[in-house]
Structure 1
Amino acid sequence: MEETTTFHGLGHLFFTIFLYCFSSFIVAPAITDISMAALCPGKDECSLAIYLSGFQQVITGVGSLMMMPLMGSLSDKHGRKCLLTLPMTLHILPLATLAYSTRGTTIFYMYYVLKTSTSIVCEGTVFCLALAYVADNVSERRRGSAFAILTGITSCAFVCANLCARFLSIAATYQVATGMGILSLLYMRLFLPDSIRDNSLGAPIVISETLSSSLLEDCPGHRNRIFRAIHSVREMASLLRSSVPFFQVAMVSFCSSLAEAGLHASSMYYLKAKFHFNKDQFADLMIISGATGSISQLLFMPILVPALKEERLLSIGLFFGGAHVPYMAAIFSLFSVFPHSCMRSIVSKQVASYEQGKAQGIISSIDSLANVISPLAFSPLTDWFLSERAPFNFLGFSIMCAGFMMTIAFIQSLMIRATTPISDMGSP
C-alpha cells in the first residue's frame, strides 16, 4: 500500500513538473525576438538587450543564492508541497504581463521588472524542491535513476513546449504559457500528496506573516534579514564541510553552471547576429537538443546508472558537454545531459533524510552564484566580439570560452570519490 501511495505521489509530481516546465520553456524561443523588437527594432545586434539579459541573471543569481538553501531548509520542516506553492504562483505573473500584450517598450519593461524580481524566488526552486521530494520517496539505490527520470520529464516538456512554440504566434505563446502555469499550480495543490509526514510539523506556511515567523524560528535571537542571511550561509558552509564528495560536487556544479550560463548568454545573440535566427529557428534548434536529451534521460540513464555509477557518468557527461558547447553538436546532448542528475544523486546520498531539501538547495545556490558571475564576464565578451570593435574576427569567442570552462569541470569531476552513503537517520 505504501509503495502504491509513493508511486502515485511521484506520478503527480512528474506531471506537475511537466506542466510547470512546459509553461517556462515555451516562451524561450520568443523572448529574444521580443527583446530585440522592444529595444532595438529592425536590428540583428543589440548591446542593450545583451546587457539587460546579463543584469537580470546577476540579480536573479544574487537573490536565489540566499533563497535556495532557505526554501530547501523550510521544506524539510514544513513539507515540499507547501513551499512549492510560492514559486509556482509567482512564476505566473510575468507571463501574464506578456500574455496581455507583447508589443511596446513599456510593456516589455514591466515584464522585465516582474521577471527579474520573481525569478529571485522562482529560478530553480521548483526543480530543487522536486528533487528533494523524489529523495523522500525513493531508496538510495534507485535514486540516481529516479533523478534521471525527473530530468527526462523536464526535457520532454522542453521538446513539447518548443514544438508548440514553433507553430504559435508570439502573443499566443505567452497566453498558452500563462494557462499552463495556472494549471500546474492547481494540479499540484489538488493532487500532489506531501512527502513530509512528521507529526511535529505545523500548519502549512501562508505567504506573509506566517512565513516571516517561521524564518525567525529558524534563526533564534536574530531579528533582521542580515543575520538570517548570515545564518543561512553558515549552514551552507557547515554542510559542505561535512562531506568531501559533497564539496567536490559543489565545485563541479559551479564550473559547469558557469559554462552553461555563459553559453545561454552568448549563443542566441550569436545566432541572431551571425545567421539571423528568428523564433522558429531557435525553436527548431531547441527541439533537436531537447529530444536527444529526453531519450538519454528516460531510456539510457536508468540503465547506465546501476552499471557505471553516478561518478563515472558525471565525467562522461561533462566531457561531451565540453565538446558540445563550442561546436553546437546536438547529438552530444545524448551524453551532456548526464551531469545534473548525477550530481544531485551523489549529493542526496551524502546527507540524511531530514537534510535533503537543504542539500539540494545548496547545490542550486551554487548554480545561482555561477549565474551571478557568468554574465559579468560573458555579456561584455559577447557584445565585444559581436560588434565592430572586436580585436579579431571570431564571433563565437565567448562560446569557446564556455567550452573551456566545461572542460575544467570535467577535470574536477575525475577527482570525485564518493564515500559510503549516509544511512537514513530519520528526522532529528
Structure 2
Amino acid sequence: MTEKTVVSSGLGHLFMTVFVFNFANFMVVPAITDVSMAALCPGEDECSLAIYLTGIQQAITGMGSLVMMPLIGNLSDHYGRKVMLTVPMLLATLPLVILAYSRERNFFYAYYVLKTLVSMICEGSADNVAVGRRGSAFGILSGISSCSFVFGNLSTRFLPSAASVFQVSAAVSMVSVVYMRIFLPESSMESAVIAVSSKEQTVNESLLEKGCTDNRRPLRTTPSLHDSISLLRSSWTFSQAAIVAFFGSLGELGLYSALLYYLKAEFHFDKDQFADLMIINGIAGIISQMVLMPLLSKVVNEEKILAIGLIFNCVHEVDTFQLRSIVSKQVGPTEQGKAQGCITGLCSFASIVSPLIFSPLTALFLSDNAPFAFPGFSLVCAAFAMMIAFIQSVMIRAPPPPVPDSKLDDSVSVEP
C-alpha cells in the first residue's frame, strides 16, 4: 500500500469520526432548550435562570478554549492524534449519559457543571493533517460538519421524546469513540494542527486550524498578547479581518443564545420546531459550502465572498474559512500559527463578551419587567453587531500580490 493511499485512508476515517461524533452532539441541540426549561422552570415558557446559565456556560467555555485550544493543539504534535482525540471525546460523552438517565433538576445541574468543564477541554481536541492537504481538508471538514448538523437535527425531529434523543446521542457518541480507536491511524508528529470543535450550543461547533508547530518547543507557538498586538499593527488588512472576526462572532453567538429562548417564549416552540429551523439552516449551509462557494471562488475574490457570507449569514463556517484564508496571506509561512491563533483568540474573547451582553438583554426583554415592549430587542442588537462586521468586510481591500524574486531587479521600471 502506497503512502498516498495510507494518508487518504487516514483522512477518510478522520472524516467519518468527525461526522459520527458531531452527529451525536448536534442531536441534542434542538432538545436542550426544552430540557433546561422543564428542569429549571417547569410549566413556563420564559425562564431567566435558564438564559443566564446558558450565558455563563458559554462564557466559561470561551475562557477555557482560549487557553486550552493552543495547548492541546501543540500537545497533539507530541502525543499523536488518537490520545488527544480519545480523552476529549470520552469526556464529551459523559454529560449526554447523565441526561439520558434522567432530566430531573438535580441531574440537569450535574449535566450542566460537567458539560461546562468538559467543553473547556473539548474545544481544544486536536488532529494532525499534512500541510499539502490542509486546504482541501478544511473545505471537506466544513461540509461534513454541516451534513452532520442536518442529519443530527433530522434524527431529533423523528425521535419521540427528549429522553430518547439523549439516549441515542450518548450511544452514537460512544460508537464514534470506538470507531476512532479502531480505524483511525496514528498521525505523524510534524504535521500542521487542526482543532476539532464540538459545541453543544451551536451551530457554532467546527474545526479550526492551529498552524505549524515546532516539536522541540511545544508551547512557544501559543500567541502571546504582545504577538497579537504586533500582528494587528503589521497590516491594516489584518486589523480589518480581526474586527470582522470579533463582531461577527459576537453577533453570531448573541443570535444563537437569544433566538431559541425568544422562540420558546413568544411562539411556544418545542424540539421538533427547533429541529425544523436548524435543518433548513443546515441545508443552506451545505449548499453554500459545497456549491455556491466553489463557484464564486472562481470569479470572485475572498474579500467579496466574505462580505456575501456576512450578508446572508446562512452558515458561519463560510465566513470563518474565507476570513482565515485572508489572514493567512497577511503573514509569512513562519507566522501562520500566530496569525490563526490571534483570530481564534478574538473569537474566543467574543464568546466571553457575548453572554455578558446578550443574556441580560434577553432575560430582561422576555420578562414582565422590560422597560418597553420589544421581546426581540436582543436579536436586533445581535444583528447590529453582524452589520458592523459586514460593513468592515466591505472595506477590506486585497493587498497587491508579492513580486516574484526573479523580478526583483534594479533594471525593472514601473510604467506610468
TM above 0.5: yes
1:113-132 correspondence to structure 2 within 5 Å: 113-123=113-123, 125-126=124-125, 129=126
Deviations along 1:376-427, one digit per CA (max 9) or x if unpaired, are 1101111111112122221111101111100111122223345559x9xxxx
- CA separation in 1, counterparts of 2:144 and 2:96? 22
Deviations along 1:236-268, one digit per CA (max 9) or x if unpaired, are 555656665444333211111100110111101
Question: Please, which of 392, 411, 420 is the counterpart of residue 391 of structure 2?
Answer: 411
Q: Which residue of 1 aligns with 2:111?
A: 111
1:14-25 correspondence to structure 2 within 5 Å: 14-25=15-26
| Change over 3 Å in CA distance of 1:219–1:73 after alignment to 2 | closer
Shift of 1:21: 1.2
Report whether the alignment pairs 1:400 with 2:380.
yes
Shift of 1:56: 0.9
2:271 alignment partner AA:
K
1:11-160 correspondence to structure 2 within 5 Å: 11-76=12-77, 78-102=79-103, 104-123=104-123, 125-126=124-125, 129=126, 133=128, 136-138=131-133, 143=135, 146-160=137-151
Question: Please, which of 170, 175, 181 is the counterpart of residue 178 of structure 1?
Answer: 170
Alignment identity in percent? 55
Structure showing greater relative contact order (alpha-carbon pairs closer than 8 Å, 6 or more residues apart)? 1
| Change over 3 Å in CA distance of 1:121–1:52 after alignment to 2 | same
Shift of 1:345: 2.9
- CA separation in 2, counterparts of 1:243 and 1:2? 40
- CA separation in 2, counterparts of 1:15 and 1:358? 29
| Change over 3 Å in CA distance of 1:281–1:288 after alignment to 2 | same
CA RMSD of aligned residues (A): 3.1
Report whether the alignment pairs 1:283 with 2:275.
yes
Normalised by the size of structure 2, how large is the TM-score?
A: 0.81
Q: Is the 8 A contact 2:76 2:84 kept in 1?
A: yes
Deviations along 1:83-123, one digit per CA (max 9) or x if unpaired, are 33332222112111112222x11000000000111111113
In terms of fraction of residues, the more helix-rich structure is 1
2:280 alignment partner AA:
I
Shift of 1:187: 2.5
1:148 alignment partner AA:
G
1:409 alignment partner AA:
A
Report whether the alignment pairs 1:372 with 2:369.
no
Shift of 1:162: 0.6
Q: Give the unaligned 5+ runs of structure 1.
A: 200-213, 221-227, 322-332, 424-428
Q: Which residue of 1 aligns with 2:366?
A: 386
Q: Is the 8 A contact 2:250 2:351 kept in 1?
A: yes
Report whether the alignment pairs 1:165 with 2:156.
yes
Normalised by the size of structure 1, how large is the TM-score?
A: 0.79
2:31 alignment partner AA:
A
Structure 1 runs, 4 residues or longer, greater than 6 Å off: 214-217, 352-355
| Change over 3 Å in CA distance of 1:247–1:84 after alignment to 2 | farther
1:154 alignment partner AA:
S
- CA separation in 1, counterparts of 2:328 and 2:392? 19
- CA separation in 1, counterparts of 2:231 and 2:188? 21
2:133 alignment partner AA:
V
| Change over 3 Å in CA distance of 1:187–1:64 after alignment to 2 | same
Q: Is the 8 A contact 2:150 2:279 kept in 1?
A: yes
Q: Which residue of 2 aligns with 1:308?
A: 300
State the number of aligned residues. 379
Q: Is the 8 A contact 2:77 2:215 kept in 1?
A: no
- CA separation in 2, counterparts of 1:198 and 1:146? 17
- CA separation in 2, counterparts of 1:234 and 1:51? 33
Please give the secondary structure, in 2, of the residue aligned with 1:264.
Answer: helix
Deviations along 1:257-293, one digit per CA (max 9) or x if unpaired, are 1001101111011001100001111111111111111
1:286-301 correspondence to structure 2 within 5 Å: 286-301=278-293
